[in-house]
Structure 1
Amino acid sequence: MSVPKWLTLSHQQVFPHKAFVVSDVTPVIDYERSTKDNKVQATDRESGLPLWQVEVLDGDPAASKRARTLTVKFATPKQPVCPPNTTGMPFTPVIFEGLCVLPYVDRSSESGRIAWSFRASDMTADTGKAGSSAADRASA
């Protein structure tokens, strides 16, 4: 069976109620190669590009506490830049371009659970209205 490792989804499929950046973009630290005095940035296993990350708040009011915040990573040669926040809100609404997800088993609890890694190629400002209609979700 030829199932891709990373599944490509649209931003609307993953974040039908918007996504909000709640941190700066920071390098992903490779803890296996880093020392106390020398932090080494992680690289993508396939492309060799540096990995960056940003913390995101899912705008879905029904999201569980565990699923409300997540990390989106980028494999890019240069540090991605968050779009400017012109909303007057404390968080910046964004749209992720080239969004991919990777399912994995999180074994941090006794029973384990399905969890998701998120990766995007870029992010842009979301200038649309809050929430979305059923028609918007159906067309995604």
Structure 2
Amino acid sequence: MAIAKRFPIAHETAFPQGAFLRGLVEPVTDFQAEQRPDGSRPQQRDKETGLPLWQCTVIDGDDEAGRREIGVTVKFAAEHQPVPPKNNSPMPWTPVEFVGLAALPYIDDSGRRPRIAWSFRAQSFAAPGHAAKVGEPKAVA
């Protein structure tokens, strides 16, 4: 098959009305790992790179999104916690644009009827309009 499991997708395709960071970027807990003596669990690591996994909750700005699609989780595989752009908007949520966004469709059968849902991964994020394209050099000011 020509399409990989996780495929690249433009930020504008996934979030045509914008994406808004809600809360913080947090480590992904590895629930498959053994509990530590204090009851906590270690941070999950990416199966391909071995890097720690981080996640954030994003509000999809699409008015047509259903209530189950409004809050989206985006994960990052990175050695250090990704830092979001500064919120210069009057909103309580930070507008963001994802760089190196990839999507993975899956069947969510946790509701009354199964539906197609999406898992998102990104390399980084920036303020809208300031994201350098993957593989392109960043503009120097």
Tell me which residue corresponds to 2:7: 7
Question: Please, which moves more after superposition, 100-109 or 58-67?
Answer: 100-109
Q: Which residue identity is paired with 2:118?
A: W
- SS of residue paired to 1:25: strand
Question: Counterparts of 1:116 and 1:87 in 2: how far apart (Å)?
Answer: 28
Structure 1: gaps spanning 5 or more residues = 129-140
Question: Equivalences for 1:1-140 in 2 at 5 Å?
Answer: 1-35=1-35, 37-126=39-128
Distance 1:52 1:34 in 2: 19
* 1:19 Cα offset (Å): 0.3
Shift of 1:72: 0.3
Greater fraction helix = 1
Report which stretch shifted further, 29-38 or 87-96: 29-38
| Change over 3 Å in CA distance of 1:8–1:78 after alignment to 2 | same
> Looking at both structures, which has the greater relative contact order when contacts are Cα pairs under 8 Å and sequence separation is at least 6?
1
Separation in structure 1 between the aligned mates of residue 11 and residue 3 of structure 2, nearest angstrom: 21
Q: Alpha-carbon deviations, 1:75-112, whole Å to 9, x = none?
A: 01111001110112100000000000001111213532
Secondary structure of the corresponding residue to residue 23 of structure 1: strand
* Distance apart, 1:73 and its partner CA: 0.2
Q: What secondary structure is seen at the aligned counterpart in 2 of 1:24?
A: strand
Kindly report the root-mean-square deviation, in angstroms, between the aligned alpha carbons of the 2 structures: 1.5
Q: TM-score scaled to structure 2, two decimals?
A: 0.85
Q: For residues 17-62 of structure 1, give each alpha carbon's deviation from its aligned partner in whole angstroms, at most 9, with x where no partner exists.
A: 0000001000000011142623210011111110000000000011
Q: Is the 8 Å Cα contact of residues 97 and 129 (structure 2) preserved in structure 1?
A: no
SS at match of 2:29: coil
TM-score (norm. length: structure 1): 0.86
Cα separation, 2, equivalents of 1:110 and 1:127: 39
Percentage of matched positions with identical amino acids: 45
1:127, CA displacement in angstroms? 5.5
> Across the two proteins, how many residue pairs are aligned to each other?
128
Give me the whole-angstrom Cα distance separating, in 2, the residues matched to 1:62 and 1:19.
14
Which consecutive segments of 4 or more residues in structure 1 shift more than 4 A?
Answer: none
Gaps of 5+ in 2: 131-141
